[in-house]
Amino acid sequence: MGGPARVTLVLALAAAALPAAAATDRFVPADANFVVANVRQSAPDAELRERIARWRESPVDAASIELARTFLERAHSRREPMYVGRAESVLAAATRRPDASIETRRLYAQTLQYRHEFSAAEAILDGILERTPFDAAARTQRASVRLVRGDFSGARGDCARLLATSSNSPVALACLAESHAGSGRLEQARALLAAYPLNPAGDAAERAYFLTVRAELAERADALDRAIADYRAALGAMPGEDATRAALADALIARGAATEAAGLLDVDRPSLALLVRRVSCTRGAQRERLRALASGLLELEVARGDAPHRREAALLALELGEVAPALDAAKQNFATQKELADVRVLARAAVAAGDEAVRRELAEWLRSSGFRDAFSEKILGLPSRG
């Protein structure tokens, strides 16, 4: 969840999860207080029991969609990623039926995206758009996948098509700006967003996505105060979005406001992304407790066979001074994900490890793609392109 570009604020509800591993791969946490699973959180409530019963009685397309959407909503509202695995199980069976609807297949692609199976997700979305080229949800979702993968040209085509078919759409405009910013047109992208009259009473998820993109582009241009203001506004619109919370924390830490960032990250049942960042701005016994919890979650992912959060693994290793594993995780992560945080963690790991080859490769990617980020360029010792 992953995870996962900021178009997912509009489409997505949770982080990735896979089915549990076999008992032979049993995970035994080092900390006796480590929570492997919250049984109370995962137990179905009355509404969910009713939908499960309806689906079991008649597992048709509509019932599968309803149950999967309910699982995804629970995953988001309760920060309980195991529900995404349950949604995936329902949708995997539903998509194998010959009468599977476009919505079923699109939702299944969404769960694959959260598992970081981007190629498989994009292939499903390609098929949907071949049949229904005006499916805005599928096109937005494919643009999201392409932005994550660093396919800015492909994303730009999808975003432009969205803008042409949906006038006055902040999502389509922000999508187009993000694709431009990834391929050498950062200032033009920022100007495009600055000129748009965002409606403060508009849809909260759409506003949050627009503001988050505008914040990220400001951050990449080294306009940190502007970025923080927009991240705050985005989080105010969608307080449950951990990706926005993590991005705001990163910006605060970069400005030297670690104490403020630590308070922002102190939430109930934090995601791995939030935990790792709390480690970086906490000291003493609490830092060690948070480090143990984050390390335990990373180990649990491996034991369960989950899609690994390599970005977070690299960030944590860097914070602990373990530069070799940090670089290994950052390189593997960058092979599939090329968002801002992925670029930055690879730059940091390459320099920390003194790996000149990786540093040159990343510098060449920045040059050839046109992706600009003042922070990464400074770390890598590159001349400013501002």
Q: Tell me the whole-structure pTM to 2 decimals.
A: 0.86
Distance (Å, rounded) from C-alpha 65 to C-alpha 208? 26
Please give the single-letter amino acid code of residue 100. A
Cα first-last separation, the chain:
32
Specify the pLDDT at position 77.
79
Distance (Å, rounded) from C-alpha 263 to C-alpha 376? 26
Handedness of CA 252, 313, 209, 264 (dihedral sign): negative
Please give the single-letter amino acid code of residue 331. K
Distance (Å, rounded) from C-alpha 124 to C-alpha 73? 22
Which single residue is written with the structure tokens 């946490």?
Answer: 29
Q: Provide the 8-state DSSP code for 25.
A: G
- 19 Cβ partners below 8 Å, 6+ apart? 85, 89, 304, 305
Specify the pLDDT at position 285.
94
CB atoms within 10 A of CB 194: 12
Distance (Å, rounded) from C-alpha 110 to C-alpha 125? 9
Segments in 305-339 forming alpha helices (H): 310-319, 323-334
Specify the pLDDT at position 5.
44
φ/ψ (deg, to 5) at 336: -120, -20
> Residue 135 in contact with residue 128, Cβ under 8 Å?
yes
> Residue 15 in contact with residue 75, Cβ under 8 Å?
yes
Distance (Å, rounded) from C-alpha 15 to C-alpha 248? 19
> Residue 346 in contact with residue 363, Cβ under 8 Å?
no
Rg, Å, the chain Cα set: 21
Specify the pLDDT at position 307.
74
CB atoms within 10 A of CB 122: 22
- Residues of the chain predicted below pLDDT 70: 1-44, 167-168, 385-386
Specify the pLDDT at position 31.
53
Structure tokens at 337: 């994900």
> Residue 108 in contact with residue 124, Cβ under 8 Å?
yes
